[in-house]
Amino acid sequence: MNELAGKHIVLGLTGGIACYKAADLCRALVKEGATVQVVMTEAAQQFMTPVTMQALSNRTVYGSQWDPREPNNMPHINLSREADAILIAPCSADFMAKLLHGRADDLLSLMCLARPLQSVPLLIAPAMNREMWAHPATQRNRAQLVSDGATIFDVGNGDQACGETGDGRMLESHELLEEVIAFFQPKTLAGQHVLVTAGPTYEAIDPVRGITNLSSGKMGFSIARAAREAGAVVTLVAGPVSLATPRGVNRVDVRSARDMFQAVQDKVAAATVFIATAAVADWRPAHAADQKIKKDGSGKTPELSFVENPDILAAVAQSTRAQAGDLYCVGFAAESQDLLANAQAKRLRKGVPLLVGNIGPATFGQDDNALLLVDESGTQEMERDSKLSLARKLIANIAIRMKARGQK
Ligand code: CTP
């Protein structure tokens, strides 16, 4: 998608077995359109050769502050001035300690100290043994580096190269890529808590059969990702879908409309924005059979009767907090025809300030969509685009609306 087009990233490698992941990360950054300048400490070169990193980044790798290739012999200045960010992945415990003290006895630490603080952010992906990560010294360094302005990504949990198991693994390259992309998005929803519903629901007929719909959950998951990229705390209540959870998003899996209703009721008190993208089943079988319904050979078909499911969005929109303007509610309308008229009517029926219409059959399961935003003053079209791009535009639009309402 060229998410990092125009970005120049200095990728710093320090000593650690996670250097093998940095090779893949370098490739992924380049694939997203970034130019990548690799700088390696001496310790990093014990784990990965500069040749590999040069081939992947298509640029000469730097390792020494005494590198004579720079005409002024100041690689620490020359390389740091062009960067949109310095990303240290992997960052060892030792290197974190070094950064903390502003030490500068090798090219990478020298660059970090010499970088213009306001324009070149420092992103750190720690990688170390679990005991080293848990050590009070490392945790103290981590907290201090954050208060000095660095962004420190989480560590992964699992099997470590040393044979132990726990916290301290460097995140996988695709996870770091998602974090870097998120870092560059505008933080329009910082301080907000966004609750999103997504996907279909599944209403059981018997233990092996049920009623569901064609929603893939992709639009809702993209919205959850975009909200988190915009700086919000995000909770995603997901119906049965097989999509990966966007990084940093709290996910609650549910199956039926009633489960979804309950999960939303449990989470909504903390939310300042509620976005209902789920294609909730309107009805469920009145009586789900305890055992599988069998054919009896007579050709008789089972008779199903239905009862209506609770309307999750309407209930939230009528809550005291939503009515008082402390919770901004956004509905979706999946229609098959007459989008404008249906969306306008649905906005009023649900009692929400903003309703987003889309044509269900034209978007269910696809990676792209087109949206029609309907509010009390009119409509706005968002042309066909990837679901992630549309989600980012919608989140920016919601942020503007909340600001206009004066919602904190
Ligand atoms: N919705 C909900 N709970 C329901 C039904 C719908 O929260 N039981 C929400 C959806 O998540 C969406 C909006 O209401 O944000 C509209 O959903 P949609 O299925 O398009 O509309 P319905 O209310 O089901 O109306 P209809 O089926 O008649 O189009």
Q: Each residue of 283-312: pLDDT tens digit?
A: 999 999 999 999 988 999 999 999 999 999
Query: For position 360, what pLDDT does the model report?
Result: 84
Distance CA 102, CA 110 (A): 8
- Do 157 and 250 fall into the same domain? no
Q: Is the CB of 311 under 6 A from ligand 1?
A: yes
- Do 237 and 343 fall into the same domain? yes
Q: Is the CB of 154 under 6 A from ligand 1?
A: no
Closest residue CA from atom 17 of ligand 1: 333
Distance 280 CA to ligand 1 centre (A): 6
Can you give the residue range of the structural domain that contains 228?
193-405
**3-state helix/strand/coil string of 71-140:** CCCCHHHHHHHCCCEEEEEEECHHHHHHHHHCCCCCHHHHHHHHCCCCCCCEEEEECCCHHHHHCHHHHH
Q: What is the CATH number of the domain that holds 266?
A: 3.40.50.10300
Query: For position 288, what pLDDT does the model report?
Result: 95
* Residue 188 covered by a domain: no
* Residue 277 covered by a domain: yes
Tokens of 386: 């990837």
Query: For position 100, what pLDDT does the model report?
Result: 96
Distance CA 343, CA 339 (A): 6
Distance CA 209, CA 200 (A): 15
Query: For position 221, what pLDDT does the model report?
Result: 98
Ligand 1 probe mutation, 202, 254, 261, 311, most atoms within 8 A of CB = 311
Distance 334 CA to ligand 1 centre (A): 8
- Do 295 and 375 fall into the same domain? yes
Contact call for residues 354 and 377 (beta carbons, < 8 A) = no
* Residue 387 covered by a domain: yes
- Do 242 and 380 fall into the same domain? yes
Query: For position 405, what pLDDT does the model report?
Result: 85
Give the nearest ligand 1 atom to 350 CA.
14
- Do 151 and 242 fall into the same domain? no
Closest residue CA from atom 16 of ligand 1: 333
Count how many domains the chain has. Answer: 2
- Do 213 and 351 fall into the same domain? yes
Closest residue CA from atom 24 of ligand 1: 282
Q: Is the CB of 329 under 6 A from ligand 1?
A: no
* Residue 71 covered by a domain: yes
Q: Catalytic residue, from 26, 91, 162, 329: name it.
A: 162
Distance CA 120, CA 82 (A): 9
Tokens of 177: 């890529």
Distance CA 90, CA 14 (A): 6
Query: For position 249, what pLDDT does the model report?
Result: 98
Q: Identify residue 384 by its one-letter amino acid code.
A: R
Contact call for residues 161 and 203 (beta carbons, < 8 A) = no
What radius of gyration, in Å, describes the C-alpha atoms of the chain?
Answer: 25
* Residue 54 covered by a domain: yes
Q: Is 162 a catalytic residue?
A: yes
Q: Is the CB of 23 under 6 A from ligand 1?
A: no
| Residue 252 CA to its chain's centroid (Å) | 15
Q: How far is CA 168 from CA 51, 91, 135, 152, in A?
A: 27, 11, 11, 13
Distance 197 CA to ligand 1 centre (A): 11
Tokens of 123: 């992103």
Q: Is the CB of 309 under 6 A from ligand 1?
A: yes
* Residue 2 covered by a domain: no
Q: Identify residue 191 by its one-letter amino acid code.
A: G
* Residue 1 covered by a domain: no
- Do 310 and 396 fall into the same domain? yes
Distance CA 94, CA 43 (A): 11
Cα-based angle 94, 18, 248 (whole degrees, multiple of 5) = 95
For residue 115, the cross-strand partners are: none
- Do 49 and 117 fall into the same domain? yes
Q: Identify residue 167 by its one-letter amino acid code.
A: D
Domain endpoint, select from 119, 152, 183: 183
Query: For position 406, what pLDDT does the model report?
Result: 81
Distance 333 CA to ligand 1 centre (A): 7
Q: Which residues of the chain have pLDDT under 70?
A: 407-408
Measured in residues, the chain has a length of 408
- Do 197 and 179 fall into the same domain? no
Q: Is the CB of 313 under 6 A from ligand 1?
A: yes
- Do 61 and 203 fall into the same domain? no
Domain endpoint, select from 183, 205, 232: 183
Distance 303 CA to ligand 1 centre (A): 25
Contact call for residues 32 and 84 (beta carbons, < 8 A) = no
Distance 307 CA to ligand 1 centre (A): 15
- Do 108 and 197 fall into the same domain? no
Q: Is the CB of 280 under 6 A from ligand 1?
A: yes
* Residue 224 covered by a domain: yes
Domain endpoint, select from 183, 201, 231: 183
Q: Each residue of 234-256: pLDDT tens digit?
A: 999 999 999 999 999 999 999 99
Distance CA 305, CA 300 (A): 16
Distance CA 173, CA 196 (A): 27
Q: What is the CATH number of the domain that holds 35?
A: 3.40.50.1950
Contact call for residues 335 and 353 (beta carbons, < 8 A) = no
- Backbone torsions φ then ψ of 375, nearest 5 degrees: -135, -170
Q: Is the CB of 198 under 6 A from ligand 1?
A: no
- Backbone torsions φ then ψ of 296, nearest 5 degrees: -105, 5
Query: For position 134, what pLDDT does the model report?
Result: 97
Tokens of 309: 């499911």
Query: For position 365, what pLDDT does the model report?
Result: 85
Query: For position 408, what pLDDT does the model report?
Result: 63
Q: Is the CB of 354 under 6 A from ligand 1?
A: no
Distance 341 CA to ligand 1 centre (A): 15
- Do 168 and 242 fall into the same domain? no
Tokens of 282: 């309107």
